[in-house]
Amino acid sequence: MPQIEADKILARIYGKGRGAVLTPKDFHDLASSSNIRTTLSRLVSDGKLRRLMRGVYEYPEFSPFMNAPASPNPNLFARAVARNHGWTIQPEGNTALNLLGLSTQVPAQWNFFSDGPTKRFQWTGGILSFKHRTNKETTALSYETALLVQALKTLGQDRIDDKVLCALCEKIDAKAVARAVREAQYVTSWVYAALKRLAAEKERSHA
C-alpha cells in the first residue's frame, strides 16, 4: 500500500495515545479497507499493536512493574466494539462500579446494556457481554452520565455517603459532573439528588 497512507494510520494511532483501542473503521477516511487491514496486521507483527480479538486492536501501555504490556482497558475495548457496530452502550451494575473505582473486584465478565443485539465476546480480559435493552431513563444521556447513573443505582440510595462522593470526585472531572446534573434531571429522584450532592462536593473540593 502507499507509504503515505500507512504513515497517516500510524500517526492517528500515536495521536490516540497508549492504551487506545481501535478498529479498522476508525481509519476509513485514510485508506481502503484492504490497505487498512494490511497495515494493522503489519503493526501487530512489528509489535506496535496488540490484537485483542479479530478486528479489534490496542496500542498497548507498558507496565514497568510487570515489565510487560499492561492489561487492556475493558471500558475502551467495549466502546471500540460498540463503535465498530454502531451501538450505543452503557455499563451495567458492577461493571459501572468497577470502572469508577467503587469496587476493587475485577469481574470475569464485563456487562453493558446496548441498543444493539445481545452479544458475547471472548477476549484477553475475559468475557464482554452486551445485553439488548431499551432504557428510556438513560437513552438520551452521554456515556459518562449514564455510567454515573448506573453506578449510583447499583449502590442504592442508602450507600451513597461522603466516602462514595469523594471517590467519585477523584474519578470524574468537573465538566462531566456539571453535564450529568444538566442531563439527568428526569432520572429517579434520589439518583438526581445524589448527582447534585456530587456536584456540590466537586465545587467544594476546588474552592
Domain that holds residue 52: 3-69
Candidates 158, 129, 137; CA nearest to 148 is 137
What sign does the CA torsion over 44, 50, 56, 60 have?
negative
Angle between helices 189-205 and 162-171 (to 10 degrees): 70
Mean pLDDT of the region 94-122:
89
**Which amino acid, 45?**
S
- Which residues touch 85 (CB under 8 Å, ≥6 apart)? 116
CATH code, domain with 45: 1.10.10.10
Going by DSSP bridges, is the β-strand pair 119-123/109-114 parallel, antiparallel, or unpaired?
unpaired
Which pTM does this prediction carry? 0.83
How many domains, the chain? 2
Is the pLDDT assigned to residue 33 strictly greater than 70?
Answer: yes
Report the pLDDT value the prediction gives residue 3, as an integer from 0 to 100. Answer: 81
Whole-number average pLDDT of the chain: 89
Residues 125 and 54 in one domain: no
pLDDT of 96 above 80: yes
Report pLDDT digits (tens) over 140-156. 788 899 999 999 999 99
Q: Are residues 39 and 15 in the same domain?
A: yes
Residues 87 and 13 reside in one and the same domain: no
Distance CA 207, CA 189 (A): 27
Same domain, 185 and 125: yes
